Structure 1
Amino acid sequence: MATQKIAGRGESFTEQARRAQLIGITRNLIAERGHRGTSLQSIADAAGITKAAVLYYFPTKAAVIEAAYGEVVAALARDVGAAVEAAAPGHEPAAYIRAMVHHLHEHPQHTRIFAEAVLHDERPHSRKERWQPLAALIETAAGQDAVDARDARATAIIIGGAIDGIIAEQLDDPDFDSGHAAEVLIAMLPGASNAATES
């Protein structure tokens, strides 16, 4: 039965499907219209339900936007995490860069949602949560050539900014080769001669 409750979740299959639909609609609206152009009413209209029905699932506009943002972050983390896990030892930072650029190139909607979150300071994650995993990968990849933690942090922050620039350029100019730009960035990594050989 569609209305059967899911054990431990407290929501029926129908309710879960509706919640997922509202998150998807919100994601689409933010990407198309921006944060300010996305209202509870516009979400309701796109779903073909009332605003009160949206509020049944999410108590505020901020709550549904946070859910949409969380879904996008999770998708990016899955792709990048899988690429890093599959990378040969020492090649993890290069895999991180390639996967990050590739994911955002393939999902421009996600990029717009990240940009909106930054503009409206709606990010549920701190800046540290962004640079810290890459800094750890840089330290690990260095192996015996120990990298100072300050240098790893600085490198991770610089790479994050470079990735943002690559993706912004890709959004502005669809002919821009973001894959090539990622390889140029990888060539700047410490120990880049090894990382550049794995593509």
Structure 2
Amino acid sequence: MSEPRHRTFTEEARRRQIVDRTIELVAERGPAAASLSAIAARAGISKAAVLYHFASKDAVLDATMSHVLDSYVAAVGERVDAADGPDGMLVAYVRGTLAYMRDHPTHVRVLVEGLVRDPDVAAQPSRWQSVAGILAQGQESGVFRAFDTRVLALMINGALDAVVAEWIAAPDLDLDTAAAELETAVLLAVKEATT
């Protein structure tokens, strides 16, 4: 079996252009509008040129979702990695997620639509597992009380998703205020109750 061919700088730039235009198209008109013809028109190239770089529409959508996920994970992960202790990591995750959504509104629609068709992309660890890891660290270090890390991780992500959904429907929602309130609720949920 031969080694896969490495793409040139120009090929990588063209692929990125196609992905960027697909993000715009999905954000403006939804995934149903992201046909190969529409993607090509948005990128200012022929449909054949799109197919030169991607085997199919699904391959374009998979690459688009992978790019958005990688961007989100890198941005939020950087904040979490720089945080001090499990409390700080949890706050960094909550605030980082909402900041990313605010700063990348076109990516939100791609994430909401969940364009994944590639089983390798779909099989990546889910968000709850990453959050559960932070929660388990907090329990192991004695900073957090005993609780089911999976359940609480699902609740935290559910709250984040609800805030983002409301922000999409009502863009006047103040995400900084939402982040502060969610931070307070999350920190109260992980600590022992005091009397």
Give the TM bin, normalised by the shorter chain. 0.7 to 0.9
- Other-structure match for 1:176: 173
Q: Give how far 1:11 is off.
A: 2.0
Is 85-94 or 157-166 further displaced after alignment?
Answer: 85-94
Task: Confirm whether residue 33 of structure 1 aligns to residue 29 of structure 2.
Answer: yes
Q: Hey, what's the Cα distance between the residues in 2 that align with 1:127 and 1:25?
A: 24
CA distance in structure 2 between the partners assigned to 1:23 and 1:87 by the alignment: 31
Distance 1:100 1:146, change over 3 A: closer
SS of the residue 1:94 aligns to: helix
Deviation at 1:72, TM superposition (A): 0.7
Distance 1:78 1:49 in 2: 30
Q: Does 1:14 align with 2:10?
A: yes
Cα 1:145–1:15 shift into 2, 3 Å: closer
Q: 5 Å matches for 1:49-198?
A: 49-90=45-86, 91-117=88-114, 122=117, 124-126=121-123, 129-142=126-139, 143-144=141-142, 148=146, 151-190=148-187
Residues 139 and 147, structure 1, Cα contact 8 Å, conserved in 2 = no
Per-residue Cα deviation, 1:16-56 (whole angstroms, up to 9, x for no partner): 11111111111111111111111000111122222111111
Percent identical among aligned pairs is 36
Per-residue deviation, 1:191: 5.3
Give the structure with the higher percent helix. 2
Is the CA contact 1:31–1:110 (under 8 Å) kept in the aligned structure 2? yes
AA at the equivalent of 1:65: L
Residue type of the partner of 2:163?
Answer: I
Count of aligned positions: 184
What secondary structure, in the 3-state scheme, does the structure 1 residue paired with 2:148 have? helix
Structure-1-length-normalised TM-score:
0.83
Q: Is the 8 A contact 1:40 1:54 kept in 2?
A: yes
Which of the residues 44, 68, 77 maps onto 1:48? 44
| Maintained 8 Å contact 2:98/2:160 | yes
Q: Which segments of 5 or more consecutive residues in structure 2 lack a partner in the other structure? A: none
Matched-pair contact (CA < 8 Å) for 2:144–2:190 = no
SS in 1 for 2:33: coil
CA separation in 2, counterparts of 1:134 and 1:34?
Answer: 29
Deviation at 1:76, TM superposition (A): 0.7
State the one-letter code of the partner of 1:154: V
Kindly indicate whether the alpha-carbon contact (under 8 Å) linking 1:186 and 1:192 is maintained by their aligned counterparts in 2. Answer: no
